Amino acid sequence: MSYTTETKVENFLMLDIDPSFSAQVVLWISAVEKYINNYTGVKDGFESAVASIKYFNGNGKTEIDIDEFTSITTVEILESNGSSVESTLTEGLDNDYIEFPYNETKKYRLVINPGSTVGTWSSGNKRIKVTAVWGASVTVPADIELAATILVSSVIEKGAKGGKIRSESLGDYSVSFENIDDSEQSLGVKKILDRHKILTL
């Protein structure tokens, strides 16, 4: 599901977009989504409902940070060959590990319990296999939807008025659209995105 839609953009701008322009609007929505993901560091996006497998290196410690997830199906520790299953772990205070942080939909840390069948997350490359629903939310957060809608509306509005498009680059991905100006700042686009930003040490 997209962070916003043409209809939501039309409602925000209070105008009708000509159907012949719809394909371009879709491209701008996609560009804005990539910008938001890159800016916040939420690489798997803000909405997911399908589980998939990811592999992580073991660190030999009782705690390990993995990609953001909303639910986990299975956690397995692999043999040093990175393919054969050594142990299948279960979640819960009385079981092998627990998920952190508590009371949050999006989680990113797995902690081995003292009574676990394993003592640590085994050291080595590709030792941890996790099947989970990756991403920051089961549905797109309302404030992210609003931010995406504002950004796409800005492109359309500036283009309609003959305003210049500003190019902005993040990492290896660059996207062109008008910089967040004072009117958008008043609606808190940057503040919205900053609240979802993943801080790296």
Q: What is the mean pLDDT of residues 12-24?
A: 91
pLDDT over 80 (residue 86):
yes
Is residue 1 in some structural domain?
no
Residue pointed to by tokens 């990539």: 34
Q: Which pLDDT band, with edges at 50, 70 and 90, does 164 fall under? A: very low
Provide the residue range defining the domain that includes 167: 6-43+140-196
CA gap 73, 49 in Å, rounded: 12
Q: What is the pTM of this model?
A: 0.64
Is residue 188 in some structural domain?
yes
- 34 and 95 both lie in a single domain: no
CA gap 70, 66 in Å, rounded: 12
Give the residues across from 174 on adjacent strands: 169
- pLDDT computed for residue 59 by the predictor: 97
- pLDDT computed for residue 185 by the predictor: 52
Our count of domains for the chain comes to 2
Instruction: Single out the residue of 154, 183, 125 nearest to residue 4, CA to CA.
Output: 154
Is residue 201 in some structural domain?
no
Is residue 64 in some structural domain?
yes
pLDDT over 50 (residue 1):
yes
